[in-house]
Amino acid sequence: MNSPAAESGPRRRGRPVDVDPDEVALLALRHFAEHGYEATTMDDIARIAGIGRRTLFRYFPSKPALVWGGMEPVVERTRAELDAATPDEPTASVLRRAIARSLDMPPDRIEATRRRLLLIGSDDSLIAFGLGRLALNRDVLAAFIARRTASEPSGLHASVLADALSAASFSALLWWAANSDQEPASVVAEALAAIGG
């Protein structure tokens, strides 16, 4: 399959171009690193990806959404790991394993993940934008903790533990992006073990 960036020549009407959102995001993230996040427009991203502006906005409604676009698969993998846990496994063990395994990714996704995190860690507005995305994962953790403890997801225990695990995981990922060549899952697992999560 040809990549969007590899296409050239005039646009033809008809069947839309096949778009790999992960590839588009990686091209954009590389461009941000070279030319600056603020200086790059969505039109620039569409041009370097070889796709139309409308197509780009169908996948990414904004630059912050593009930067945070890798979060949804992590949330879904976390949910799947928690749902697959056996009732006899200790809750803390399930949570640590689910969080770490949700970060297992193929090598071709590591570069984009690192670039995303480095950019997020350097831009307060991107962190603010991403709080809602992080809350999705936190809510999955809180719901699991509540099921295990016969409590409410909004209760003190579930809320505080889910927040602590989410914050520790995000902090470990930011550290990994700037400092480590290890797999992100192993860095996060080590961090969670260190805090007893």
Taking only the tens place, the pLDDT of each residue in 56-71 is: 999 999 999 999 998 8
Quickly count: other Cβ atoms within 10 Å of residue 157's Cβ: 13
Calpha distance 174→111 (Å, rounded): 14
- In sequence order, what are the residues at sequence separation of 6 or more whose Cβ sits closer than 8 angstroms to the Cβ of residue 109? 22, 70
Cβ atoms of 22 and 59 within 8 Å: the answer is no
Hey, what are 188's tokens? 């996060």
Q: Quick one: pLDDT at residue 3?
A: 47
What's the predicted TM-score (pTM) here? 0.85
- In sequence order, what are the residues at sequence separation of 6 or more whose Cβ sits closer than 8 angstroms to the Cβ of residue 84? none
